[in-house]
Amino acid sequence: MKTILIAAALASLLPAQTITWTKEHEISVQNSATQFASNLSSQMVIVGRLGLSETRPAVVISLNGHILSPFLPSIDGEDAPYLLYRIDGSRIELETVAENPKRFVSLLKIKQPPPELVPVRVSKTLDHTVLVPTTAPISSIGEPPSLFVDHLEFAPPEEAKALRLDSTLYTLGAPVFDLSGALIATTLKGRETNTPALMIQWLIADFPELDAILANETISDLEALPLAPKTTQEEAREIVISPITRARQRFIQKSHQNP
């Protein structure tokens, strides 16, 4: 009886989509993250802004050198250029195409893009595991972006505009990728227990300058991944979701409106 009560108590803390992790899923996540990390140098850059010390990871979205970057407010509202930080510590001034402070992103452009840049793909959300590039607030010379593996609190409803990431570590406007390396969202202002991320299709709707640059949304090639890890009958019996938990889940989904 005591075991049942403990299991029920723990179940009340579970997120809306209970996930039973399997070794197969963990291996797939690790392999996908490793493969994506190997492409970071050609698909991502580090940007800053003149007069500011902090830097952010930004993503290449076109062969013409367009970059989707977190919005960095300039000092005292002065018109200051964004800067691309090279591995050797040198910096290149970027062209500012447009800024969207409401969604915490900027559209930038490398005036003479190097040939090795590879634009990212854009996709709708399919999986509950995501990859988020991060850097130190002030990155060291030659420091590449690192990858943080995160999960959705629950699968977003059809009408949702945002995802909800478990972690609260992220800076505003950070790109969010699925396990295939496709761009699916950018982060919004974090909350106490989660970080919302605006889905890419809604970002495009709020940022018309992106529409002519980003490729049409595609269905990401995640079919080969164990999207819904299988559970054995024994594992299924260990998962206890009480009526109270279900009621809490419904309340959470209704109480958090789209951004």
Does pLDDT of 258 surpass 60? no
**Higher pLDDT, residue 23 or 235:** 23
**Higher pLDDT, residue 185 or 230:** 185
108-158 confidence digits (pLDDT tens): 999 999 888 889 988 887 778 899 998 776 666 667 778 888 988 887 887
Over range 91-115, report the average pLDDT: 94
pTM equals 0.74
DSSP 225: S
Q: How confident is the model at residue 259 (pLDDT cuts 50, 70, 90)?
A: low
244-255 confidence digits (pLDDT tens): 556 655 655 555
- The pLDDT of residue 9: 31
Over range 201-222, report the average pLDDT: 73
Over range 56-79, report the average pLDDT: 90
How many CB atoms neighbour CB 63 within 10 A? 11
Paired tokens of 194 = 């989660």
**Distance (Å) of CA 104 to CA 129, 149, 187, 206:** 23, 22, 8, 11
Least confident of 5-14, 90-99, 129-138, 240-249: 5-14
Q: How confident is the model at residue 36 (pLDDT cuts 50, 70, 90)?
A: confident
Decide if 259 contacts 185 (C-beta within 8 A): no
**Higher pLDDT, residue 31 or 259:** 31
Strand order across the beta sheet in which 129-134 lies: 146-151, 129-134, 175-177, 183-187, 195-199, 162-165
Domains for the chain: give ranges and CATH numbers. 23-40+120-226 (2.40.10.10), 42-109 (2.40.10.10)
Long-range contacts, 251-254 (Cβ 8 Å, 24+) = 252/16, 252/154, 253/16, 253/154, 253/157
Least confident of 44-53, 63-72, 180-189, 211-220: 211-220
Q: How confident is the model at residue 241 (pLDDT cuts 50, 70, 90)?
A: low
Q: How confident is the model at residue 7 (pLDDT cuts 50, 70, 90)?
A: very low
- The pLDDT of residue 172: 94
Does pLDDT of 178 surpass 60? yes
Paired tokens of 84 = 């691309």
**In terms of Cα–Cα distance, which of 230, 195, 229 is closest to 29?**
229
